[in-house]
A and B are shown apart, each in its own frame.
Chain A
């Protein structure tokens, strides 16, 4: 099946999503926080077994985090990215561990870098950062230059344009 057909079929079953076809083999689905698990479960069962990546984008102006689930179907050779918007003030969402076991690691990484809570994830301990006491660093309001100057006591480099 072509990606456009898959998107249309999904939209028929879940009328509350919005779909977009980016390329012949790549499409996007946007769904809200309350109902995204249904869409993910349906897609997984319709041959989108491969979860390539989960990542988050910080839309600070619109005050929301956008979680992206990057799915691939071996049968249809089609890539679909499911986007879920969650509010920035209270970023809590449920885990997809039951659908994809390795999602646990991706969620652990996102929790560490963005501060998003995943209910049901057994291990959200820090993976990469040791002794981190600032705000989650991938958020847009974290200024790396200001932090470096404060933490490492480096002076100004004069002259560089």
Chain B
């Protein structure tokens, strides 16, 4: 740029600036007016944080991602919530660099930054520099709360979240390939899929709090992500020796409370568990479960029934040095896991892997011995130091106890027969009464057998509960519908229609159910007598619940305390008799992982008593 020619007027041209408006904004008298529609700073300003304490679950992802380590989780004073930790983030503004990563990664979207950026503290007039430094340190560490939520700046709606919100989809056999065989439906993860799915976990630990068995879930997921399946299975065995089973059929409370489930799909914890175990050989699993433990012969414990509770108690007690004998009335061990859950959900091979690992510890499982018949419980009391009951609920309930008909069946008996490979009655049109998982299990098993026998499926599942109230798992219901089962939710008060001449079942008359539970949540179904219909069926299978069988207790039945039809125990499983303990469905249930937890607690409690008495 060259210099202009000399010009006398040029200096005076600057006078035009006298009349221009200044660019200075006299804050706070004047307010900035730069951004359309909002006076002040920008609508996405990264200012001081605000946090909705009701939505925040205390997962700690913000604390993990903070580059300057400014966020600390402190104890929270409010009501503890299910699926949330009792802690909230507190931010040190001396360290915070206002990058906004904590807001982008927040798993519920409760943390955001406001448009406030002024924070004033008066320094004291004290001459003590250390006191002043400490005071400033205190005053600049703030707990973000609801103040400022009305003036949001930088916030992250769900599509912009930094978390990985989509689950790796699990391949399953499609319904046309699976509906005539009992082959396992879920195919399992490949290595890339498992590592990618495991990378979604933020290691908050809320799942561990929710798991009834208290499994160390973030630790075993991180081990899978690190490609260390052996370490992963070691973590699993610390709390759950039936991980092969739970990795297929657990009710996964962990996934329901998973932090990622608030904005996306929860981490597939159950499938990851199965993946890690499937990669190890059974020798590896046995070495992890502890075959080479030095054991001293402590006391002897008998376990009646080999369901999940009994097997778990056997595993933990055996590791602590006890001699265990399990008495199982059926031909093979496993209880409801073998005889109740069909093979397409839980193949026998998976269950056997777990049982083998437990047997290598030296646990003795004596099958086809029924306590109460082959051996008396009083004998057990004499021969063993402790007895643990794990007899479960083997008797199926029925609404019509007086109707005895060979086409009017109980689901629990049919499931047992199917799993033993025995012939069962399969008619062309079947009605299944019930809306829980057992009803779905028997309906889907019978559907397969119907397809093999008749080439088509005709099963109707009738339940008192409406579609939204159905207690079965959502996946079970959806897969059942894919396999051709028709649901009739909200019907009951059935009457069986028998043919007058042949006495065969002709149909079933059902009435519309208007209410299942009353205001106090007690079971009081009400029906609309005007709304009736009849379905044509040849066979009716009931799956409306199960009951225990205490006949084996003999005279002890009078000494044991009951709570309803369950045995009353303390929090560790001890009954009113010191030597008699109980686990599993007979104390509370309601699923496998609770039974495993019962077994673990009982084992630890027994050991405390034995060690304490030394």
Contact = CB atoms under 8 A, between A and B. Distances in A.
Q: Do any CB atoms of chain A lie under 8 A from CB atoms of chain B in the complex?
A: yes
Contacts of B74: 159
A161 interface: yes
A151 interface: no
Nearest to B87: A159
Interface stretch (B64-72, B352-360, B582-590): B64-72
Contacts of B73: 159-161
Interface string B30-70: 00000000000000000000000000000010011000010
9 nearest CB pairs, A to B: A159-B72, A161-B63, A160-B72, A161-B60, A160-B69, A161-B64, A159-B74, A159-B73, A161-B73
A157 interface: yes
Nearest to A159: B72
Pick from A159, A160, A161 the residue with the most CB of B within 10 Å. Answer: A161
11 contacts: A157-B69, A157-B72, A158-B72, A159-B72, A159-B74, A160-B69, A160-B72, A161-B60, A161-B63, A161-B64, A161-B73
B173 to A, nearest CB: 41
Contacts of A158: 72
Interface in A125-161: 157-161
Interface in A75-105: none
Interface residues of B, number: 8
A152 B72 CA distance: 22
A160 B69 CA distance: 7
A157 B71 CA distance: 11
A50 B195 CA distance: 44
Given A158-B72, A159-B73, 13 more contacts: A157-B69, A157-B72, A159-B72, A159-B74, A160-B63, A160-B69, A160-B71, A160-B72, A160-B73, A161-B60, A161-B63, A161-B64, A161-B73
A145 to B, nearest CB: 11
B310 to A, nearest CB: 39
Interface in B148-189: none
B208 to A, nearest CB: 15
A161 B85 CA distance: 13
Contacts of A157: 69, 72
Interface string B70-83: 01111000000000
B161 to A, nearest CB: 20
B598 to A, nearest CB: 32
A152 B515 CA distance: 70
A15 B73 CA distance: 59
A161 B58 CA distance: 12
Contacts of B72: 157-160
A35 B74 CA distance: 59
A83 to B, nearest CB: 29
A157 B60 CA distance: 16
Nearest to B92: A157
Contacts of B64: 161
A161 B63 CA distance: 7
Nearest to B203: A161
B283 to A, nearest CB: 32
A23 to B, nearest CB: 26
A157 B141 CA distance: 13
A160 B60 CA distance: 9
Contacts of B60: 161
Interface in A34-65: none
Contacts of A159: 72-74
Interface in B591-612: none
B87 to A, nearest CB: 9
A157 B70 CA distance: 10
A159 B88 CA distance: 11
A130 to B, nearest CB: 24
Interface in B531-584: none
A159 B72 CA distance: 6
Contacts of A160: 63, 69, 71-73
B315 to A, nearest CB: 33
A151 B60 CA distance: 30
Nearest to B204: A161
A158 B92 CA distance: 13
A146 B304 CA distance: 57
Nearest to B72: A159
A152 to B, nearest CB: 13
B284 to A, nearest CB: 28
A159 B143 CA distance: 14
Nearest to B61: A161
Contacts of B63: 160-161
A11 to B, nearest CB: 36
A158 B74 CA distance: 10
A158 B71 CA distance: 11
A78 B74 CA distance: 54
A137 B73 CA distance: 32
A86 to B, nearest CB: 33
A160 B72 CA distance: 4
A159 B71 CA distance: 9
A16 to B, nearest CB: 37
B138 to A, nearest CB: 14
Contacts of A161: 60, 63-64, 73
Nearest to B75: A159
A52 to B, nearest CB: 28
A56 B364 CA distance: 63
A155 B189 CA distance: 46
Interface string A100-117: 000000000000000000
B136 to A, nearest CB: 16
A149 to B, nearest CB: 14
Nearest to B205: A161
Nearest to A158: B72
Interface string B336-359: 000000000000000000000000
B262 to A, nearest CB: 19
